[in-house]
Amino acid sequence: MAYDYRYILFYKPYGVLSQFSQDGSGHRTLKDYIQVPKVYPAGRLDWDSEGLLLLTNHGQLQHRLCDPRFGHERTYLVQVERIPEPAAIKRLEQGVFIKDYRTRPAKVRLLTEDPPLSDRNPPVRFRKTVPTAWLEITLREGKNRQVRRMTAAVGFPTLRLVRVAIAQLQIYGLQPGQWRDLTPQELKILHKLAFANRTFGNQKSPQ
């Protein structure tokens, strides 16, 4: 009998650890939201980041999604202090140095209006004298706190960070703290993302 794999899309709220066990920090964990046994996150988000987190009990798929050799696009909405000028956007696109590492080329877009996101709890600090802007940043890598370090390197500190997509899988339709199983169409996308021309779970390779 085929193993009953689960593939879950979770909208991680601010202040939640990307793990089920407590680390002594007092932050909430995935256990406070997801009561599905034996699923684990395929990747992570920092406690102060929000958005899309995939969980599964399929170990090989989890490995593929986390292994940097199998890089795939991750899209973030990033609220920063002040309004980045075109030169700063270009630097982010071409790659910046964070410590001794130069980031790979990225897709970066300055949004003309605020994205349709739920308010954060607690809210982002607001200063009347300092404007803010939203960037859409798409990466194919995931160094520790990379997006925050990238925007800081060009002079625009990150105030809020929300991962809205992994490849074509998107967070829209969920509220912070909500989760759902992937649809059959999303499973096909995940299949191509992690196992091109291979089989996983009860799904066959799409022709």
H helices of the chain, where?
59-66, 86-94, 146-153, 184-194
Contacts for 4 with CB less than 8 Å, ≥ 6 apart:
none
* Longest alpha-carbon distance in the chain: 63
Active-site choice (4, 23, 32, 46): 46
Using alpha carbons, select from 203, 170, 174, 175 the residue that is nearest to residue 187: 203
Domains of the chain, first to last: 7-69+170-194 (3.30.70.580), 73-166 (3.30.70.1560)
The whole-chain average pLDDT of the chain stands at: 89
Neighbours of 7 (CB within 10 A): 23
- 46 carries an active-site annotation: yes
Please state, in angstroms and rounded to a whole number, the distance separating the CA atoms of residues 171 and 188.
17
Model confidence pLDDT, tens digit, residues 8-54? 999 999 999 999 999 989 999 999 999 999 999 998 899 999 999 99
Model confidence pLDDT, tens digit, residues 172-192? 999 999 999 999 999 988 888
Model confidence pLDDT, tens digit, residues 115-149? 999 999 999 988 888 999 999 999 998 888 999 99
Q: What is the mean pLDDT of residues 4-9?
A: 94
H helices of 105-167, where?
146-153
Please state, in angstroms and rounded to a whole number, the distance separating the CA atoms of residues 96 and 168.
26
Written as six digits, the tokens of 62 are 């989890």
Strand ranges inside the chain, DSSP E: 7-12, 40-41, 50-56, 74-81, 97-98, 101-102, 107-110, 132-139, 158-166, 169-170, 179-181
